[in-house]
Amino acid sequence: MKPDLLLLIHVSPKHLEQLGTAFTVHYAPDAVRRAACVAAEGARIRAVLTNGSTGLRADEIDAMPALELLGALGAGYENLAVAHARARGIALFNGAGTNDACVADHAMALLLAVVRAVPALDRATRAGVWRNDLPLQPNFSGKRLGILGLGTIGRRIAQRGQGFDLEVGYHNRQPRADAPFRYFDSLAALADWADYLVVATPGGAGTRHLIDAAVMRALGPTGYLVNIARGSVVDTEALAAALRAGELGGAGLDVYESEPAPPAPLLDCPNVVLTPHIAGWSPEAIDASFNQFLANAARHAAGEPLLTPIP
């Protein structure tokens, strides 16, 4: 008999079928089905697959006494009740490494798009406006790229930046001994130095609104901000105010505090490029994440160490 899996995120029919080869799947990708499934099937659930945004609460864990395996699809796990699950002896893992390249690609796409005003130029071209009537955009290359969070994704962003002849600096809680890039011991110092600031730090209470009005003023009117991490890291109202006042050159956001609703304060702001939290989504990345989930589940069933345990 296959173990019961509670699936809390939207997946394609292909991946739903793939999960069904190893589990009896209870598909609950919205709040109504989620509550109903936990109430009706909680006693049978042995595994949960979610993601960092969707999470899993402590009270839901308590409603699943047989739960032994909790996985997050993707690297983030900020809304999982990790300590509560760990106290229960539940095995925890995430999808680290499955979409790093895709996210880094998207970060550079957003940065290029906002610095070179690609969406605005596309609209102008379609409206019949020729280049003589448009403001010039700065060179992208030869500038300073600051990265907040030099984890695996941050490193990949740095590598891509070097391909554009960008000088790379970063801020972490601690410097990386093996990183060849300049370390800044404060976010304020990094923002003051950088032309571009890319946010690649985890979400959660500890990083909420790290990017505030002061950081945006430090970046300045020729500086650009990109966030491919979590919407909570950037103060949306402060960003809107900075853009309207010309205190920041532009921003590219794949994540925002209001998601899945669009960030209303930014919709009429100049120099903003928005995408719908899709930086880590590609056919290759999604296939890799489901394959890794099934590999972790198989290792757990065999009593072997997980490939990507949550630290």
Q: Catalytic: which of 46, 230, 257, 300? A: 230
Cα gap 306→81, rounded to integer Å: 19
Statement: residue 204 has pLDDT above 90: no
> Which parts of the chain fold into alpha helices (H)?
13-20, 31-41, 58-62, 82-87, 100-115, 118-126, 152-163, 187-193, 213-219, 236-244, 283-301
Q: Which residues contact 282 (CB under 8 A, 6 or more apart)?
A: 99, 102
Res 46: pLDDT: 98
Whether residue 210 is found in the same domain as residue 291: no
Per residue in 249-271, pLDDT tens? 999 999 999 999 999 999 999 89
Please confirm, yes or no, whether 116 is among the known catalytic residues: no
Assigned domain for 52 exists: yes
Q: What integer pLDDT is reported at residue 75 of this predicted model?
A: 86
The long-range contacts involving 213-218, CB below 8 angstroms and separated by at least 24 positions, are 213/238, 213/241, 213/242, 214/188, 215/187, 215/188, 215/191, 216/191, 216/242, 216/247, 216/248, 217/242, 217/247, 218/188, 218/191, 218/192
74 lies in the same domain as 217: no
Q: Do residues 293 and 254 share a domain?
A: no
Query: Per the residue annotation, which of 116, 176, 182, 277 is the catalytic one?
Result: 277
> Per-residue pLDDT tens for 39-63?
999 999 999 999 998 999 999 999 9
How many domains in the chain? 2
Q: Is 311 a member of any domain?
A: no
Domain assignment of residue 229, yes or no = yes
pLDDT band per the 50, 70, 90 thresholds, residue 184: very high
Q: Does the annotation mark 176 as catalytic?
A: no
**Within a domain: 306:** no
Nearest CA to 151 among 194, 104, 201? 201
Would 308 be classed as within a structural domain?
A: no
Q: 68 catalytic, yes or no?
A: no
Within this chain, do residues 63 and 141 fall inside the same structural domain, yes or no? Answer: no
Range of the domain at 164: 100-274
Assess if residue 309 is contained within a domain.
Answer: no
| Same domain for 218 and 127 | yes
pLDDT digits (tens, 9 = 90+) for 159-175: 999 999 999 999 999 99
CATH number, domain at 61? 3.40.50.720
Whether 114 and 173 map to the same domain: the answer is: yes
Residues 46 and 104 in one domain: no
Residues 52 and 111 reside in one and the same domain:
no
Same domain, residue pair 240 and 141: yes
